Amino acid sequence: MRSDARDNRERILSVARSTFASAGLDVSMREIARRAEVGPATLYRRFPTKEALITEAFTEQMNACTVAVEEGLADPDPWRGFCHLIETVCALHARDRGFTAAFMSSFPHAIDFTATRERALLSVTELAHRAKAAGKLRPDFVLDDLALILMANSGIRASSPAAAAAASRRLAALLIQGFSAEPGPQPLPPAVRLPLMPVA
C-alpha cells in the first residue's frame, strides 16, 4: 500500500473511531468521509460497506475484551476473575459508545469479528460457571445479563470522559454486589453527579 493510501486508511479509521465513540453508529459513511477529508469514493475503496468500517474500527477494542476475559479465566479465584471482567468491560465500554453498539450488533459478513465475540462469550459462560461452582456467583446469572450490563453502562451520559468513567466504576460495583451469591454491604466508589436529561 502506498504511503498516501495508508495515511488515508489510518485517518479514516481514526475519524470513524472518534465519531462512533461520541455519536454511536448512526453516523453516515458520507459524514465519516467529510470528517476524514477524503472523497466518498476513497472511503468506499478502502471500506466497501459500513459493516467493514465498523468492524475494522473496533478490532482493538474487541481484542481488549478478549484479553479481559482471558485474564478473568486465568485467575485462580473465579469470583475475583468475574469481578475483574465486569469492571474491565464496563470501563472499556464507558469510553466508547460506538463499541457497545458494535458489540451488540449482528455482522453476518464480518466473520473474524463475530467469531472473536462468540469465543469471548463462551469464555464468559465458562468463567460464570466456575464462579457459581465456587458458591460466589448467584446461580440464576445468565449470559443475557451481560447484555443488560452493557446496555445499562452505555446509557451513562456525563459531563466529561472522566465523569463517565467514574460513573461506570460505581455502576460496575453496584452490579457486582447484585450478582454476588453472598450479598452484603460493600463500600462503593464515590457517586458522580450526572446531568438530568431534558424533556422534549
Q: 6-16: per-residue pLDDT in tens?
A: 888 899 999 99
User: For position 142, what pLDDT does the model report?
Assistant: 93
Could you give the CA distance from residue 86 to residue 91 in angstroms, rounded to a whole number?
9
Q: With CA atoms as reference, report the closest residue to 52 among 8, 113, 1, 104.
A: 113
pLDDT above 70: residue 67: yes
CATH number of 59-179: 1.10.357.10
Greater pLDDT, 123 or 62: 123
Q: Are 105 and 159 in contact (CB under 8 A)?
A: no
Q: Determine the average pLDDT of the residues in 12-33.
A: 88
Could you give the CA distance from residue 133 to residue 30 in angstroms, rounded to a whole number?
51
Q: Are 29 and 45 in contact (CB under 8 A)?
A: no
pLDDT above 90: residue 172: yes
pLDDT above 60: residue 60: yes
Q: Determine the average pLDDT of the residues in 28-39.
A: 92
Q: With CA atoms as reference, report the closest residue to 105 among 68, 53, 64, 67.
A: 53
**CB atoms < 10 A from the CB of 182, how many?**
10
3-state secondary structure at position 38: coil
Greater pLDDT, 153 or 22: 153
Instruction: Cell numbers for 5, please give them.
Output: 493510501
Q: Does domain 3-57 have CATH number 1.10.10.60?
A: yes
Domain limits of the chain?
3-57, 59-179
pLDDT above 90: residue 82: yes
